[in-house]
Amino acid sequence: MNFIYDLIIIGAGPGGYRAAEYAAKQGLKVVIFEGAEVGGTCLNVGCIPTKTYVHSSSFDEARERMATVVPQLRAGVEGILSNPNITLIREKASFATTPLLKEGLGKVPVIIATGSVSKLIPVPGIDSPNVVDSTGLLNLDTLPKRLCIIGAGVIGMEFASVFNRFGAEVTVIEFLKECLPALDSDIAKRLRKQMEKEGITFNMQCGVKQIADGEVFFENKKGQTESVKADVILVATGRKPRTEGLNLETAGITLAPNGTIPVDEDFKVSTLRGDLEGSIYAIGDVNGKQMLAHAAEMQGIHVVNRILGKQDDIHFEVMPAAIFTNPEAACVGPSEDQLKEAGVSFECHKSFYRANGKALAMNETEGMVKLCTEPDEGRILSAHIFGAHAADLVQEVTAYITLGATLRQLRETVHIHPTLSEVLIGVN
Ligand code: NAI
């Protein structure tokens, strides 16, 4: 007997709801399962709430704005999912027990888009009441006087920046030598130094050993034990795929050792029951490829195209990312260090915000652009930027890289004067 839907999606975050919207527009009948609010981590407790924090002048204003912005956007997603071709089922799906999923399995494609959850570190005291993850921090009613952040990755740096601006005393403890491991180390260092100037304390190359009575004990790079007292402790040491309760074993899906669902280049699950081969896809954080909302969205669109037998030319290797600290940082393509490690021939071109008229006028002179290109100002390979509106500048370079443009072509593109984007053509 035929199944009544053409596509089953599990999870209505950016990956799932965009895939549902796109598939429905192409005429597919979609059923989508969601066990919590639609919009996923990004809309409810991630990108959107944190960006309302970044653009608010106080903690109380941020809380108030979050309470209006998030439901407004959620209503927008509910609107998208009210398309007559889409059926939203508000429950958690399980391959073992959900009748509709069991019935459709093997008959129609399934997209797993269940996202990720915070990864806590296994140290004594991690379950103390004042230890929170990013969701817990966003749910606080009052601004903590002293905030200790474990991890100087994207989440740690964004919250350090914003809570310091709101007036909390912020201390960051990080395992590695530099913050933001994916960012060019030169740019990451400048950003950290700037944040230090604004009053944030960084303890680099330090490993947390224990949390007890509101005190975080860590070992510094000399092997000595130090401690920081805090009212709230944020653990921002990475995220892990959300697969609990899906009963993936029913479909014979084996997870990778790091908990991700292994997929091929078209996001087809690569380790599953033989008779289901090619019919189950995993997109977004759950496959661990690129833990970014926009990556999940594009992966979903690509999967729907594959299902429909349509070609596309999405360059997943050209994936821009931004860190919404103050100042902002953003990047696309490999860092200078990664290019060196890979033994690629390249040139590095730099410019600074302080030489830019608009940056001076905006009083935003702290910033730097680093472009790596093939030799002789050839094709652009990457851009790593810190400074005001870094994400917008990186977005422009993303278009050049995607189209295979050279630095000469970028220089010969007319840029509006006065704009920050002129920093790009100012590289030496
Ligand atoms: P992350 O992987 O970016 O950073 C985690 C940091 O914690 C690393 O620097 C690591 O060295 C450090 N760490 C791990 N264990 C530690 C320990 N025991 N003691 C001290 N430091 C320790 O993870 P994060 O920041 O939690 O973010 C999770 C994911 O969410 C990332 O993939 C990120 O890309 C994504 N995200 C993206 C955003 C954006 O694009 N703007 C915003 C927020 C999250």
Domains of the chain by residue range: 7-116+240-308, 131-237, 327-423
Instruction: Tell me the mean pLDDT in the region 375-379.
Output: 97
Ligand 1 centroid vs 150 CA: distance in angstroms?
9
Q: Is the CB of 154 under 6 A from ligand 1?
A: yes
State which ligand 1 atom lies nearest to the alpha carbon of 181: 9
Angstrom distance (rounded) from CA 239 to CA 320 = 19
Task: Please report how the helices 154-166 and 59-80 are oriented relative to each other, as an axis angle in degrees rounded to 10.
Answer: 130
Q: Which CATH architecture has domain 327-423?
A: 2-Layer Sandwich (3.30)
Please say if the pLDDT value at position 1 is more than 70. no
Homologous superfamily in CATH for domain 131-237: FAD/NAD(P)-binding domain (3.50.50.60)
Give the tens place of pLDDT for each residue, 179-202: 999 999 999 999 999 999 999 999
Pairwise CA distance, residues 119 & 131, whole Å: 13
For the full predicted model, state whether its pTM sits above 0.95. yes
55 tagged catalytic? no
Question: How much is the average pLDDT of 286-298?
Answer: 98
- Work out the number of other CB atoms within 10 angstroms of the CB of residue 376: 9
Ligand 1 binding pocket includes 183 (Cβ within 6 Å): no
As a whole number of angstroms, the distance between CA 236 and CA 231 comes to: 16
Ligand 1 pocket test, candidate residues 175, 209, 218, most atoms within 8 A of CB = 175
CB 119 within 8 A of CB 240: yes
DSSP H helices in 26-150: 40-45, 47-54, 59-80, 99-104, 134-138
CATH C-level class of 7-116+240-308: alpha beta
| C-alpha span between 423 and 413 (Å, rounded) | 13
Tell whether the model's pLDDT for residue 87 goes beyond 90. yes
Q: Is pLDDT of 415 > 90? A: yes
Q: Is 176 in the pocket of ligand 1 (CB under 6 A)?
A: yes
Range 173-179 average pLDDT? 97
pLDDT for 2 equals: 86
Ligand 1 contact via 106 beta carbon (within 6 Å): no
**Fold equal for 7-116+240-308 and 131-237:** yes
* Range 400-409 average pLDDT: 98
CA 165/CA 35 separation, integer angstroms:
35
pLDDT digits (tens, 9 = 90+) for 340-359: 999 999 999 999 999 999 99
Q: How far is the CA of 288 from the centre of ligand 1 (A)?
A: 13
Rounded to whole angstroms, the Cα distance separating 116 from 243 reads 8
* E strands in 109-249: 110-112, 116-118, 131-132, 146-150, 169-173, 201-203, 207-212, 215-219, 225-229, 232-235, 239-241
- Let me know the angle formed at the C-alpha of 93 by 88 and 98, rounded to the nearest 5 degrees: 100
- Express each pLDDT in 95-152 by its tens digit: 999 999 999 999 999 999 999 999 999 999 999 999 999 999 999 999 999 999 999 9
Q: Mean pLDDT across the chain, nearest whole number?
A: 97
- Give percent of the chain above pLDDT 90: 100
